[in-house]
Amino acid sequence: MNKILQEDFDLAPCMVAGYESFMNGLLNIVHSGPICESVGEQIKSYVLDFVQNHPLDSFDRFSDETYTRNYIGRDTESGWEAIVMSWKKGNRTAIHAHPQFAGYTFADGEFLVEVFEPFREGIRLVQEMIISDIHGLYAIGEAGKFNNHIHRITCLSDTAHSLHVYSDDALKGEKLDGQMIY
């Protein structure tokens, strides 16, 4: 059985109230049609606008061991969720994958984003990005799978924040840390 990202988090998720209007706006976009590039661009634009007008420093809940996850919305019917992540220098995700839609908006700080793809019996690095400004990315993969968009994120600055949007529970994403990297 494949390992999943949930195994990296002992603490119960922190649900933060007060972001219902953000989540309602997000759900209006995602319920407008099937997941496609057009919807991805709308989500990216919506979340970028949000972080440009709502600094995330109220989420200054940091850990030396790992990044922290602050859920600001989850739709129990569709599975869509929005999570603010708070990072300290050196915090790094496992190499992992996600559900069909995964969107990342880097609000402040500096990050290294490494993107991988399946290769032979393992994975290979296909892209590295240093992100040091407000920036949004998204990936669209296969519906019903949790092996889409294989990546790893590392915080390079003293502290940082990012806002992530997923089409389903991101913690079900497959972990690939043990895979051979070519």
pLDDT digits (tens, 9 = 90+) for 25-56: 999 999 988 999 999 999 999 999 999 999 99
6 pLDDT higher than 90 = no
8 pLDDT higher than 80 = no
Tell me the pLDDT tens digit for each residue of 96-106. 999 999 999 99
Euclidean distance between CA atoms 138 and 180, whole angstroms = 25
Q: Which domain holds residue 156?
A: 13-172
Indicate the pTM of the whole model. Answer: 0.92
Distances (CA, A) of 12 to 18, 23, 137, 160, 170: 19, 21, 27, 21, 14
Q: What is the CATH number of the domain that holds 82?
A: 2.60.120.10
- What pairing do the DSSP bridges indicate for beta strands 122-131 and 111-119? antiparallel
Tell me the pLDDT tens digit for each residue of 122-163. 999 999 999 999 999 999 999 999 999 999 999 999 999 999
Question: Does residue 4 lie in a domain region?
Answer: no
Read off the pLDDT band of 12 (50, 70, 90). Answer: low
Read off the pLDDT band of 115 (50, 70, 90). Answer: very high
Q: Give ∠ CA 25-30-34 in degrees, rounded to 5.
A: 160
pLDDT at 7: 62
pLDDT at 10: 57
Tell me the pLDDT tens digit for each residue of 52-92. 999 998 899 999 999 999 999 999 889 999 999 999 999 99
| Total number of domains in the chain | 1
Question: Does residue 6 lie in a domain region?
Answer: no
pLDDT > 70: percent of the chain? 92
Euclidean distance between CA atoms 135 and 123, whole angstroms = 26
Question: Does residue 5 lie in a domain region?
Answer: no
Question: Does residue 2 lie in a domain region?
Answer: no
Sign of CA dihedral 69, 138, 74, 109: positive
Question: Does residue 8 lie in a domain region?
Answer: no
Question: Does residue 68 lie in a domain region?
Answer: yes
Residue 133's Cβ-side half-sphere holds a number of Cα atoms within 13 Å equal to: 0
